[in-house]
Amino acid sequence: MCFQTLQAAVDPRPEPRRTFLGSPGSLAGMENVLFVAAVDAEASHVPEGAPLLITGIGTVPAAIELTNALASAEVLPERVINIGTAGALVDDHSGVFEISHVRKHDFHLDVLSDVSRYLLPEVIELETSGKLPTATLATGDSFISDTQTRTRLAEESQLCDMEGYAIAAVCRKFGVPCTLLKQVSDTANEESYGTWASVLDRAAEELAEAFDTVSAD
C-alpha cells in the first residue's frame, strides 16, 4: 500500500493538529506528558484535556510537527508518549507493546560509513516501564503489506510502523524521554491491505488501557 492510499483511508488531506500550547498538562501518575499520534483515530481515547499532537502519517510529517511543537514550547514535556498502530512482523504478536529498540528500515548505512558522523544512530534504544510486553520496531515510509518485505524486516524487528523512529530521534535531540506504545493492527502481509482503517477504534481503546498501565503507581 502506498503512502497516498494509506492517508486517503483516514482523511484525504489530514491537517496536523496541535493542542500543545504553553506548558504541557499533568495527568495522574505521570506529569507533563505530551501524547503524539499520526491520526486522530489512534488518539480518540486519550484522556480528556491531555496535550495531544497529531502529526500526519510518515516520518517527515512526524519529525516536522514534533520538532515545531517542542521548539515552540514554553516548557518541554517530561515525556513524549507516541501512541499508534503497528504491523506484526512475526506470528503470534497481538495487543499493545512498549518499544525497547527502534530502527529506520528504509535508510541503509552500509555504504555511508565514511560520513557516519553526520547520521542518526541506526538503532535507538528506549527506556521501558517493565509493565507491558516489549518489542523491537522497524520504521519506514511505506505500509508493509507483502510477505517478502515482512520476512526481511523480521530478521531484525518484531513490529513495523511509519513514525516511531522519527519521534524517538526528535525526542533524543531535545533530551526528552520518549515512550512508544504500539498496538498490533495487522499482520504486515497481503491480508493487511485495506483493513487498517477498520480497526482504529479498537486500537485506540487498547492504547488508552496501555497508557493507564504504564502510568499506574
- 49 pLDDT more than 90: no
Domains of the chain: 3-106+122-215 (3.40.50.1580)
Mean pLDDT of 197-208: 87
What is the pTM (predicted TM-score) of this model?
A: 0.83
Mean pLDDT of 118-123: 78
Q: Which residues of 62-87 are buried (b: 16+ CB within 10 A; e: fewer)?
A: bbbbbebbbeebeebbebbbbbbbbb
- Look at residue 145 in the predicted model and tell me its pLDDT: 76
Of 4-8, 56-60, 166-170, the range with the lowest mean pLDDT is: 4-8
Cell triple for 11: 482523511
Mean pLDDT for the chain? 82
- 58 pLDDT more than 70: yes
Could you report the per-residue pLDDT of 72-117, keeping only the tens digit for each? 999 999 999 999 999 999 988 889 999 999 999 877 666 555 555 5
For every residue of 47-116, DSSP letters joined together read: PTT--EEE--SSHHHHHHHHHHHHHH-SS--SEEEEEEEEEESSTT--SEEEEEEEEETT---TT-GGGG
- Look at residue 73 in the predicted model and tell me its pLDDT: 93
Residues 190 and 63: their CA atoms lie apart, in Å, by: 29
Mean pLDDT of 8-15: 43
Could you report the per-residue pLDDT of 129-160, keeping only the tens digit for each? 999 999 999 999 888 778 888 899 889 999 99
